[in-house]
Chain A
């Protein structure tokens, strides 16, 4: 695994440009309708999804906890699992249109959980997302309800955690493509005033 010595490959780190918001359940239909009109492939029925995410954590030698997220599509049991590392989000100043965070995505086989546990990772939290996903060019828009699990490890026994749907607007791209961020921002403008998609500072949320 030495990066040197082999032929040099310029690995461009992937960045996720992200805006988040929420919509109340009773207005969700309106938003979905609007999204359907704005996004690609409006002739098809919108794509549903039902994902089960588990956050695993390990404490490294420096004491820094490292969080990895394992996801499984409950409605597509044959699909590979998805492992994701998300870096610290950079909020930046006012001029930066979106939140930027580094992201590493990898598809994995189904014994991911076992693998993580054996590496020393511990389950930190788990939840289920149910909703619809839209696409517009390279942008991905999800409107989903967040459920908590009433019983650990059983994604069938669920309870919604709020009266709103989560709305996320994101693009994953090699870093430095800041024009994309503007694209994301201008799309978010079109959803106003239904949803206020904003840069939500996750660090700030820790203290609420």
Chain B
């Protein structure tokens, strides 16, 4: 090693150089006597120290460094040592060259010294000696080059069969997917969304280093056994607050019970260990950053918004009320490798998770997109980053109100609340219709949910019909489910606005069903050749219905000798009464009615016991009834 060069060259000189100043001036010391030297050296020996550092020890025992210089050296010796041999050699070179300069200068002055011409024999050319010297020089130069070449060869050979993948290849791979830059000797990456329009304060800088994993263990495992994935040559160092994985837990609570919960996460969520592949780590960290940005924005809005029931922001949780007794609750969950125990108590995700998750995701992405996709002004000297409407505001002389209107946008929280309200309302509507349909088999209620819908609006088409008589009559009904209200469009084009209270929809369905029955019977009557004498959808007589109005119809047979009256209320059952003329076959004269002719007047209505009749459903029974009452 170069370090083993002894620095004691100067010992041959009469005077020791105590110090050489930077301009090359030498300060000499008087030579030490033998005993002085010995004491001095003895002083320098650190008896308490184990002699492990060769170069250090060697340095200290070098007699060349003494006096002041020794003191000066001590300050930087420990870290200077790799360069020490170089320095010593350079110093002696400096001494020599200084002498040369001085001699030349003095000789040039010609005062103390001159270059005196003498005649000398031409020098004897020692060709062989030059050959040997040159060969020696070449050999040592060649040795250095060969050593370097050998090293290169080894490292290349290693690259081929090493279990660690190539650092640079992998770095290239990373560069294609992530933002990287070199700063000084560091390779830094940026996983923030700033380049796509985010303005979140937190930066996502990470450092990429070469992994120093020992590769021996893996190489011994891989042959024969199952293919072990090669450990990556890259190591990423993330800021601690971005480590691990994160998601936003969205829950809709009704009082205390959970209606729907969505875990907002990226689809690739899996616990991230400290030894995961860098790709997973980075994706996880990016997701953490994303969730944080989203949550901080939601929290800010929750505080700013002033709804009637104030929003609660406590720690990592935001609660906003949707309907009376129904709350929406966001919580930011952050899992790191350390607290994996938390991950096990994840609440089971319920339905509509995808919708909420996606909506949140979309909100932030849209926001990012908007930030960098503002229209370019034309003419191009116009101000950048101004919306189209603001650009024309001046020239078009828009008033304050119009401007304020155009600037108004819903906050994310409002948007997500609206979406969630709609979701709840839709779920409720679905539940009501399904329950009603399963409780009432006659008539049948069929609901078709439209596949095309928006996050805050969907619609359902309801068909009320009777099994077996679908073609005779059906009552269609369309219900638009909006954010807080329902809008029902009836068969006759009437539009009804319903609130979010579930009872209202039930009542609507009940009245629609009762009207359906009456209307269907009328259609059936036509087919059967009966005449509708009168019909009313809102009967003013009879017992008062608790909700809505009863409808009725009176029909006569083709010959007019039989009359059927039907009354159907939303909550009361269907009543069917029949009267006939002549009233009865047998006539017994009484004191009041003496003549048989009076028998031809239609008699009093008698109620039919429907439940005892044959027939699958009401219309079927009516058909039977009409058929048997028809006289041919």
Query: Hey, which bits of chain A sit against chain B, CB under 8 A?
Result: 40-41, 47, 49, 51, 53, 69, 71-73, 75-76, 79-82, 84, 105-110, 129, 133, 135, 138, 140, 142, 172
Interface residues of chain B: helix, strand, loop or mixed (majority): loop
The reply on B542 being an interface residue by CB < 8 A is no
Interface readout for B376-415 with A: 1 if CB under 8 Å, 0 if not? 1111111111000001101110000000000000000000
Q: Which residues of the other chain, A, contact B396 by a CB distance below 8 angstroms?
A: 80, 109
Interface readout for B594-612 with A: 1 if CB under 8 Å, 0 if not? 0000000000000000000
The reply on B38 being an interface residue by CB < 8 A is no
The reply on B372 being an interface residue by CB < 8 A is yes
Interface size class of B (residues with CB under 8 A): 10 to 19
Q: Which residues of the other chain, A, contact B380 by a CB distance below 8 angstroms?
A: 49, 51, 73, 129, 133, 140, 142
> Which of B376, B379, B384, B385 touches A82 (beta carbons < 8 Å)?
B379
The reply on B342 being an interface residue by CB < 8 A is no
The reply on B373 being an interface residue by CB < 8 A is yes
Report the minimal beta-carbon distance from A75 to chain B, rounded to whole angstroms: 7
Q: Which residues of the other chain, A, contact B383 by a CB distance below 8 angstroms?
A: 105, 172
Query: Hey, which bits of chain B sit against chain A, CB under 8 A?
Result: 372-373, 376-385, 391-392, 394-396
Report the minimal beta-carbon distance from B373 to chain A, rounded to whole angstroms: 6
Q: Which residues of the other chain, B, contact A109 by a CB distance below 8 angstroms?
A: 395-396
Please list 28 pairs of residues, one from A and one from B, whose beta carbons are closer than 8 Å in the complex, sorted by A's number: A40-B372, A41-B372, A41-B373, A49-B379, A51-B379, A53-B379, A71-B379, A71-B381, A72-B379, A73-B380, A75-B378, A76-B378, A79-B379, A79-B392, A80-B391, A80-B392, A80-B396, A81-B379, A82-B382, A84-B381, A105-B382, A105-B383, A107-B394, A109-B396, A129-B380, A135-B384, A140-B384, A172-B384
Q: Which residues of the other chain, B, contact A79 by a CB distance below 8 angstroms?
A: 378-379, 391-392
A108 contacts B394, CB within 8 Å?
A: yes
> Which of A49, A107, A140 touches B392 (beta carbons < 8 Å)?
A107
Contacts A80-B391, A109-B395 known; A51 to B378 CB distance under 8 Å?
Answer: yes
- Total number of A-B contacts with CB less than 8 angstroms? 65
Q: How many Å lie between the Cα of A71 and that of B396 in the bound state?
A: 17
Instruction: Please name the residue on chain B nearest to A75 by beta carbon.
Output: B378
Interface-central residue, A75, A107, A108, A133, by most chain B CB under 10 Å: A107
Q: Which residues of the other chain, A, contact B376 by a CB distance below 8 angstroms?
A: 47, 49, 133, 135
Report the minimal beta-carbon distance from A154 to chain B, rounded to whole angstroms: 18
Report the minimal beta-carbon distance from B239 to chain A, rounded to whole angstroms: 24
A107 contacts B384, CB within 8 Å?
A: no
B381 contacts A51, CB within 8 Å?
A: yes
Report the minimal beta-carbon distance from B203 to chain A, rounded to whole angstroms: 15
Q: Which residues of the other chain, B, contact A110 by a CB distance below 8 angstroms?
A: 395
B384 contacts A80, CB within 8 Å?
A: no
Q: How many Å lie between the Cα of A81 and that of B373 in the bound state?
A: 22
Q: Which residues of the other chain, B, contact A129 by a CB distance below 8 angstroms?
A: 380
Report the minimal beta-carbon distance from A25 to chain B, rounded to whole angstroms: 20
Instruction: Please name the residue on chain A nearest to B371 by beta carbon.
Output: A40
Q: How many Å lie between the Cα of A75 and that of B380 in the bound state?
A: 11
Q: Which residues of the other chain, A, contact B381 by a CB distance below 8 angstroms?
A: 51, 69, 71, 82, 84, 105
Contacts A51-B380, A105-B382, A142-B380 known; A80 to B372 CB distance under 8 Å?
Answer: no
Q: Which residues of the other chain, A, contact B382 by a CB distance below 8 angstroms?
A: 82, 105, 107
Report the minimal beta-carbon distance from B487 to chain A, rounded to whole angstroms: 37
Given known contacts A53-B379, A80-B394, what 9 new A-B pairs fall within 8 Å (CB)? Answer: A49-B376, A51-B378, A80-B392, A82-B379, A84-B381, A107-B392, A107-B395, A133-B380, A142-B380
Report the minimal beta-carbon distance from B389 to chain A, rounded to whole angstroms: 12
Q: How many Å lie between the Cα of A79 and that of B396 in the bound state?
A: 11
A106 contacts B391, CB within 8 Å?
A: no
What are the 7 closest A-B residue pairs judged by CB atoms, nearest first? A73-B378, A80-B395, A71-B379, A109-B395, A76-B378, A51-B379, A82-B379
Q: How many Å lie between the Cα of A94 and that of B379 in the bound state?
A: 32
Q: How many Å lie between the Cα of A68 and that of B396 in the bound state?
A: 21
Q: How many Å lie between the Cα of A84 and that of B396 in the bound state?
A: 18
A49 contacts B378, CB within 8 Å?
A: yes
Q: Which residues of the other chain, A, contact B379 by a CB distance below 8 angstroms?
A: 49, 51, 53, 71-73, 79, 81-82
Q: How many Å lie between the Cα of A107 and that of B389 in the bound state?
A: 12
Q: How many Å lie between the Cα of A71 and that of B380 in the bound state?
A: 9
Q: Which residues of the other chain, B, contact A138 by a CB distance below 8 angstroms?
A: 384-385
Instruction: Please name the residue on chain B nearest to A73 by beta carbon.
Output: B378
Q: How many Å lie between the Cα of A81 and that of B379 in the bound state?
A: 7
Interface-central residue, A79, A138, A142, by most chain B CB under 10 Å: A79
Q: How many Å lie between the Cα of A129 and that of B385 in the bound state?
A: 21
Q: How many Å lie between the Cα of A204 and that of B384 in the bound state?
A: 30
Report the minimal beta-carbon distance from B388 to chain A, rounded to whole angstroms: 9
Interface-central residue, B372, B381, B396, by most chain A CB under 10 Å: B381
Q: How many Å lie between the Cα of A129 and that of B379 in the bound state?
A: 10
Report the minimal beta-carbon distance from B561 to chain A, rounded to whole angstroms: 78
Q: How many Å lie between the Cα of A106 and that of B381 in the bound state?
A: 10
Q: How many Å lie between the Cα of A53 and that of B377 in the bound state?
A: 15
Q: How many Å lie between the Cα of A172 and that of B392 in the bound state?
A: 19
